Amino acid sequence: MHTIGKLAREANVTTDTVRYYEKAGLLAPTAKTGAGYRLYDEEALRRLRFIKQAQHSGFSLSEINELLALKNSDEACCKDVRSVAITKKLQLEHKIKALQVMSQALTELIAICNDEARPLDACPILAALENSMAKQTKGKRNAQA
Amino acid sequence: MHTIGKLAREANVTTDTVRYYEKAGLLAPTAKTGAGYRLYDEEALRRLRFIKQAQHSGFSLSEINELLALKNSDEACCKDVRSVAITKKLQLEHKIKALQVMSQALTELIAICNDEARPLDACPILAALENSMAKQTKGKRNAQA
DNA sequence: ATTGACTCTAGACCTAACTCCAAGGTTTAT
DNA sequence: ATAAACCTTGGAGTTAGGTCTAGAGTCAAT
């Protein structure tokens, strides 16, 4: 069993963050000592790392909560888990595509612009930037948030 | 020339957001009327759309500012623009990879879990979730923020 | 038995990116 | 010429995700 400090160190976060996650309902201590010290097992550490990982991939804490909640639910069945997974995957795909368009645009620009001495007004990157990006926005004109 | 309201409508944001971007140095009005009304041209609209697009792809406003700033700088030359572009591309690639790992994990899980009636404790998704994700974290144990 | 490292709670504070509000001035339509 | 729909500034409030502080209790080592 780890104390909060050890857990935090192993997951490379602060103890404040761990307590914050607890408040947010993401990570409860496995046990408490008589003095009220939080204690965590390996499962908690894995959970904490999962949270950080998911967060790093663009999930918000409440989305992460959704995923983790399923795990703790006794009523949920495979079907529920599966449909959340599908929803999340679609969101991911969408985001990935947006990033890829952006990345591809940059790739092209970097390739074009090789003349180190060329002055700014002759830089093809800037001219191309908006055009390249604009492609993606096409057909979304009336999309509502 | 558009007034702020028209500009905002066309880009699907609020007028408050446009003014906020102005404060943040991202989007200055093209002109002002005698009464102090902001006026924007098509270029401003494209810029605003670009901001939203980039933001949607995970760039923060200050990162977007960096990109846009180059455009307005007279000292910058192609070389500078190019190196910012390369930096941004690397950041993008990194983020894309993280999302792809996540997405791939979900794909596998969705495929595995087809039994609608299976109870939760037999759901292979939950068992696999952390393992799949854990792959990505390997070798990063001591990475500092 | 006391020092130093650790933990507790409660609550204030922080940044990013808005969002809302008040109190007024302007433009347009009838 | 007056009401509706717009615009202005300034500043307060909001949400997410922490981060920091104060004041006090606990634990390990000397």
pLDDT digit string, tens, across residues B90-116: 878 888 887 787 788 778 767 766 655
- For B54, residues 6+ apart whose C-beta sits below 8 A from its C-beta are A102, A133, B63, B64, B67
Q: How far is the CA of B47 from the C1' of C17 (A)?
A: 18
Q: What is the pLDDT of residue A126?
A: 55
3-state secondary structure of A119: strand
pLDDT tops 60 at residue B23: yes
E strand or H helix at A40, and its extent?
Answer: strand A38-40
User: Rounded to an integer, what distance in angstroms lies between the CA atom of residue B26 and that of residue B49?
Assistant: 12
Q: CA of B62: how far to CAs of A90, A94, B26, in Å?
A: 28, 23, 9
Global pTM?
0.71
Q: Is the pLDDT of residue A131 over 80?
A: no
d(CA B34, CA A141): 32
d(CA A56, CA A45): 16
Owner of token pair 């609209």? B45
Alpha-helical (H) ranges within chain A are 4-11, 15-23, 42-56, 61-72, 78-112, 124-137
Q: How many CB atoms lie within 10 A of CB A133?
A: 19
Q: Give the residue with greater pLDDT, A63 vs A18.
A: A18
- Please say if the pLDDT value at position A117 is more than 50: yes
Report the residue from A98, A100, A119 with minimal CB separation from B56: A98
pLDDT at B138: 42
- Measured to protein CB atoms, the chain D nucleotides within 7 Å are 6-9, 11, 16-21, 25-27
pLDDT higher than threshold 60 for residue A8? yes
Residues in chain B closer than 8 A to A88 (CB atoms): 106
Tokens 């926005």: give the residue. Answer: A137
The pLDDT value given to residue B86:
82
Alpha carbons B124 and B114: distance in angstroms, whole number: 10
For residue A53, what pLDDT is reported?
A: 80
Q: Name, of A71-75, A89-93, B108-112, the range with top average pLDDT.
A: A89-93
A33 CB-to-strand D distance under 7 Å = yes
pLDDT at B4 over 50: yes
- Which chain A residue shows the shortest CA-CA distance from B111? A82
- Quote the CA–CA distance of A40 and A29 in Å, as a whole number: 5
Return the closest-CA partner of residue B14 out of B23, B4, B22, B29.
B4
* Residue B83 · residue A125 · CB < 8 Å: no
